[in-house]
Amino acid sequence: MQKEKLDCTWWELSNETLAVGVKTWAVDLGVTTALLDLDDTLCDTSALFWNAIEDYWRNMERITGGKQRLAFEECVKWWKGVFAGMREVFVVHPSITDYTAYVIAKEYGVRLGSRDLVEALEQLQIDIYYTEPTIYEDVDRTLRIFKQAGLDSRVGTIALEPWTWRKLKVIDRFSEEEVCCFEVTEPKQGQWVKGLRKFGVAGHECVIVGDNYEEDIVPMLELGARRGYWVAHGREERRLMLGVIRIEEFKDLLPAILSQSQWDWRSSLV
């Protein structure tokens, strides 16, 4: 199939027609399941987080009267630095969020027992937890097409269940049996082993789609996944394992899949 021609025309085809192409690809590849990361793959969780950090930063400015000012960019650097010291991969987790916020408050000179600080920290958690994330473009359509193609969609995510379900409610396409929440302390490969067991599939029956190359893509390729689709979001180029395809956004997933299918798309345009 000529990818450049597909990129120009695929979105004009019906879901039913595109499902034929996905099914052809899945059968040829020997896969039954698409494993999907949630945060920053299906929905824009980072935006929730950075917006909340900005609100926290404004609270620190208010509490200190701006006397010990950290520019927002410096605040973000501190935040990332503390996270990096606690966790190899940047994730949203209440225990890490609390600790990081207190460390930054100390840099501002705010007493850790300050009522204002506690209120600012509580507001940070509320901003992250109760704000609905933006679902990326073409998520709903892609999931519909997968279902019509007979390709199961399953979600694996490093997060607590209550917050996971708040985010998934926006998508409204997954049941409890189709989602697996991982503990932040679980080893990388162990997380996806847990998911495979819950979903009742083997690694070689799956493809993996995720934005975290080390946490999502590599462990599943090592467990036998036939393809890995790395949602790079403009990150720097890196050497990829055999079987990994870089896409920039989730909306690029379907064209990437269809460009590898033996499906005769030309007959569908007649």
Nearest-angstrom CA–CA distance, 69 and 73: 11
5-36 pLDDT, tens digit per residue, is: 455 466 678 999 999 999 999 999 999 999 99
Sorting pLDDT into bands at 50, 70 and 90, what band is 1? Answer: very low
197-248 pLDDT, tens digit per residue, is: 999 999 999 999 999 999 899 999 999 999 999 999 999 999 999 999 999 9
Domain 3-44+134-269 has CATH 3.40.50.1000: yes
Of 70 and 42, more confident: 42
Of 92 and 231, more confident: 231
Of 86 and 23, more confident: 23
Q: Per-residue pLDDT for 174 more than 90?
A: yes
Where in the chain are the domains?
3-44+134-269, 46-130
Mean pLDDT along residues 104-130: 83
Write the DSSP assignment of 64-113 as a string of letters: HTTTT---HHHHHHHHHHHHHHH-SS----HHHHHHHHHHHHHHHT--TT
Give, in order, the Cα–Cα distances in Å from 3 to each of 11, 137, 199: 13, 20, 32
Sorting pLDDT into bands at 50, 70 and 90, what band is 3? Answer: very low
Cβ-Cβ contacts under 8 Å for 56 (sequence gap 6 or more): 101, 104, 120, 121, 123, 124
Task: Note the pLDDT of residue 242.
Answer: 94
Task: Note the pLDDT of residue 267.
Answer: 63
Mean pLDDT along residues 116-121: 85
- Say what percent of the chain tops pLDDT 90: 50
What average pLDDT does the structure give for the chain?
A: 86
pTM of the prediction? 0.86
Edge-to-edge strands, sheet with 227-231: 179-182, 152-158, 33-37, 206-210, 227-231, 244-247
Sorting pLDDT into bands at 50, 70 and 90, what band is 86? Answer: low
Determine contact, residues 151/75, Cβ cutoff 8 Å. Answer: no
